[in-house]
């Protein structure tokens, strides 16, 4: 509590004196999207596209998506999933790192070869990968 009061006093004094408070550059922006709902795939991929566009000016951004549950099935190779896989392919080309939950893959009887290229295996499970990425400083988004 004392530390908090000291920080607030210092901030107010700096503001009152007209001094600017500069925040250190945190470097690369990092975000992980959590996708587990088949009905939210288009929205999630659209959000990721918009996220990349926001950094077209040269800002650094690292974006990952962790796909678990029934949504993973829509990233299978094949004509019936081309609409989804083509959107993912374009995002991977921009730098997206997609992760597939190993537990979901077992449940759906899938291998990485069955999925759109670019997927990496979340070897300990999708929720564990989400926690690991958050621990590494990735902001969590669940569309």
12: in domain: no
Identify the CATH number of the domain in which residue 107 sits.
Answer: 3.40.1260.10
- Rounded Cα distance, 68 and 41, in Å: 11
Residue 119, domain extent? 25-141
The model's pLDDT over 120-135, given as tens digits with 9 standing for 90+, comes to: 999 999 999 999 999 9
Is 8 contained in some domain?
Answer: no
Asked if residue 59 is part of any domain, the answer here is: yes
What's the structural domain count of the chain? 1
* Distance (Å, whole) CA 20 – CA 15: 7
pTM metric for this prediction: 0.80
- Residue 87, in any domain of the structure: yes
Distance CA 34, CA 111 (A): 20
- Structural domain includes residue 77: yes
Residue tagged 């992980």 (tokens): 32
- The pLDDT tens digits of the residues spanning 34-77 come to 999 999 999 999 999 999 999 988 779 999 999 999 999 999 99
């Amino acid at each position: 509590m004392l530390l908090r009061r000291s920080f607030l006093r210092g901030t107010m004094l700096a503001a009152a004196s007209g001094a600017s408070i500069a925040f250190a550059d945190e470097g690369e922006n990092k975000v992980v999207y959590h996708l587990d709902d088949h009905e939210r795939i288009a929205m999630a991929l659209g959000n990721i596209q918009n996220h990349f566009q926001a950094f077209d000016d040269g800002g650094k951004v690292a974006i990952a998506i962790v796909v678990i549950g029934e949504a993973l099935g829509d990233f299978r190779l094949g004509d019936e999933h081309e609409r989804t896989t083509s959107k993912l392919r374009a995002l991977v080309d921009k730098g997206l790192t997609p992760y597939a939950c190993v537990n979901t893959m077992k449940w759906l009887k899938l291998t990485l070869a069955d999925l759109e290229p670019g997927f990496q295996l979340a070897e300990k499970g999708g929720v564990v990968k989400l926690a690991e990425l958050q621990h590494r400083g990735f902001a969590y988004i669940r569309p």
